[in-house]
Chain A
Amino acid sequence: DQQVKQNSPSLSVQEGRISILNCDYTNSMFDYFLWYKKYPAEGPTFLISISSIKDKNEDGRFTVFLNKSAKHLSLHIVPSQPGDSAVYFCAAFLLSGNTPLVFGKGTRLSVIA
């Protein structure tokens, strides 16, 4: 039973346009959500996070939106650059008990020049 779902395995976007990566979750008790980015032959690296008490967090070209009622979050990249081409993983966890991150299966983003 996947608690964190990324239903789009891949996404292609033209350079300069907006990339929107989506993530749905089933556990309404999750306290924190994170996005990780992964290049081939490297480990995932942390990109941006959001607490469940917020609905938006912005860091440069990256913004994460959280819709708790819909149990949905999205990562917006504006403007998209070829270097953003990577696999993006959505993850979530519960603060109580320091539970490990629960990851989605990832979405491969290709930014076309």
Chain B
Amino acid sequence: DARVTQTPRHKVTEMGQEVTMRCQPILGHNTVFWYRQTMMQGLELLAYFRNRAPLDDSGMPKDRFSAEMPDATLATLKIQPSEPRDSAVYFCASGHSGRADNEQFFGPGTRLTVL
């Protein structure tokens, strides 16, 4: 049963600390997306990759957020330094660019609380 996995599931940290979230996309998928869910904005796209290359990260605050794909089985989202307003649920999703309907498969999310 192929699924997207994310670690950690929950993270509580203090303002100013570095946070790293990890995602393992479904094997064979070539697109990876990072979303943030907040009450006000719903699901916001932060960044996405195709074939490990970053295509769009305009949704991310560049001064503190960074997203990378060191290899095809790992995507990371890093926040440094973290701030209370970063508290949200962060989702990773993967898909295949060859699919006409662009279906994305979501991981369970990382719930981040920055105190």
Contacts and interface: CB of A to CB of B under 8 A. Distances in A.
Interface of A: 6, 32, 34, 36, 41-46, 49, 51, 89, 93, 95, 98, 100-106
A45 B91 CA distance: 12
B1 to A, nearest CB: 13
Query: Which 3 A-B residue pairings sit nearest by Cβ, starting from the closest?
Result: A43-B106, A105-B42, A103-B43
Interface residues of B, number: 24
A32 B103 CA distance: 10
Interface stretch (B14-22, B70-78, B93-101): B93-101
A100 B58 CA distance: 12
A41 B43 contact: no
Interface of B: 4, 31, 33, 35, 41-43, 45, 48, 50, 56, 91, 93, 97, 100-109
Contacts of B41: 105
Contact of B42 (A41, A49, A104): A104
28 contacts: A32-B100, A32-B101, A32-B102, A34-B103, A41-B109, A43-B91, A43-B106, A43-B107, A43-B108, A43-B109, A45-B106, A46-B104, A49-B101, A51-B100, A51-B101, A93-B102, A95-B100, A95-B102, A98-B31, A98-B97, A100-B33, A100-B45, A100-B56, A101-B33, A101-B45, A101-B102, A103-B43, A103-B45
